[in-house]
Amino acid sequence: MKIKSADFIISNTDVSKCPKEQLPEYAFIGRSNVGKSSLINMLTGRNKLAKTSGRPGKTQLINHFKINNNWFLVDLPGYGYAKVSKSIKRTFQSFIKNYFLQREQLICTFVLIDSRLEPQKIDLEFMEFLGEKEIPFVIVFTKSDKLKLNELNKNIQFYKKKMTSAVWEEMPPYFITSATNSTGKDEVLNYIDEINKQLVKKP
């Protein structure tokens, strides 16, 4: 898939105010500072589409971007940032949860994982939530350029072992990405494109 247009549409914390169009949505979410904004900018080829910051927790709203006029990329707030106040964190959890439970247009969630880290409890718990609610998701391992190939493969195998030894029968589909050198760009976009084509074929 080639992205020809990527337009910001709306930011809000109220699911009822999300776009009314019946276009498929693909949500991107992960722990704060996982590199989500950089990944979105890499995928869309727009350097400043999603706001990047050295300060974790920059994204605090549901952000809708219309891609090629036929699907939405949804940038969701990061979770697990300790310096966000408890009251704000509760609000985040509330409207993020509402988005996942109420948004019928949501087709797939891309859960971003820092490939350099061992499995984090908060990531595993969030994916369990998606699984329990039968919300389709895939894993996106970010910052792969920060590791040697053997270290990267070792970490991913560790993740597979961790997930399949606990809740999951098998590891969900996953992608290896780097916003720095565009690793995984074609694979992620083609995955979305194939789903969109299947949706068009449905009666």
CA 102, distance to chain mean position in Å, is: 17
The strand pair at 71-75 and 62-67 is best described as antiparallel
Residue 129: its H or E element: helix 121-132
Per-residue pLDDT of 131-185, as tens digits, reads 999 999 999 999 999 999 999 999 999 999 999 987 899 999 999 999 999 999 9
The mean predicted confidence, pLDDT, of the chain is: 88
Contact between 126 and 93 (Cβ < 8 Å): no
pLDDT at 47: 83
Classify domain 6-14+22-201 by CATH number: 3.40.50.300
CA distances from 118 to 25, 83, 115, 172 (A): 29, 22, 8, 17
CA distances from 89 to 53, 63, 93, 122, 136 (A): 19, 17, 6, 14, 24
pLDDT at 49: 85
pLDDT for residue 53 is more than 80: no
Q: Cα separation of 153 and 151, whole Å?
A: 6
Per-residue pLDDT of 4-16, as tens digits, reads 999 999 999 889 9
